[in-house]
C-alpha cells in the first residue's frame, strides 16, 4: 500500500517535471499548506519514536526480556516498525510537496511563455 502511494506521488512529480502537469499557484497554495502541515506533524512523530523504542519494563525473566525486545524493535526498528511507517509517510508527503511545487513552477513558466508574444518579449 505505501509503495503504491509513493509511486503515485513520484509519477505526479515526474509528470510536472516533464511539463505534462501545471497547477495554478493560487489554487494550489491551500493544498501545499496542508501537505506541509501534515509533513511537519509526521516529522515531529518521527523524532518521538526514539522514546517508543525504549524497551518496556515487562519483567526480569526470559519471556519478559524477549517481549520487551520485540516491542522495542516494532516501535523504533526497521522493517515493519512504527518508525519505518512514519518515515515512509514522510517520504510520501515530501514527494507530493515537491510535485505540487514543480507543477506550480511549470504553470508559471508556461504562463510566462504564452504571454511573451503579447508583451513584446520574444
Least confident residue range of 5-9, 11-15, 61-65, 99-103: 5-9
State mean pLDDT over 47-51: 81
Residue 66, pLDDT score:
85
Q: Is the pLDDT of residue 72 over 80?
A: no
Q: Is the pLDDT of residue 111 over 90?
A: no
Q: Is the pLDDT of residue 117 over 80?
A: yes
**pTM (whole model) above 0.75:** no
CB 92 within 8 A of CB 5: yes
CB 42 within 8 A of CB 86: yes
Beta-carbon count within 10 A of 82 CB:
17
Least confident residue range of 30-34, 55-59, 71-75, 89-93: 71-75
Q: Hey, what's the torsion of the CAs at 33, 84, 16, 102, to 10 degrees?
A: 40
Amino acid at each position: 500500500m505505501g509503495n503504491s502511494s509513493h509511486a503515485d506521488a513520484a509519477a505526479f512529480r515526474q509528470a510536472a517535471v516533464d511539463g505534462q502537469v501545471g497547477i495554478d499557484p493560487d489554487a494550489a497554495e491551500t493544498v501545499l499548506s496542508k501537505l506541509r502541515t501534515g509533513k511537519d506533524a509526521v516529522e515531529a512523530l518521527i523524532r518521538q519514536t526514539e522514546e517508543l523504542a525504549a524497551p518496556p519494563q515487562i519483567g526480569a525473566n526470559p519471556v519478559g526480556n524477549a517481549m520487551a525486545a520485540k516491542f522495542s524493535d516494532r516501535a523504533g526498528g526497521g522493517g515493519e516498525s512504527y518508525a519505518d511507517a512514519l518515515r515512509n509517510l514522510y517520504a510520501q508527503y515530501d514527494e507530493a510537496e515537491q510535485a505540487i511545487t514543480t507543477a506550480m513552477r511549470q504553470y508559471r513558466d508556461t504562463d510566462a511563455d504564452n504571454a511573451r508574444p503579447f508583451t513584446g518579449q520574444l
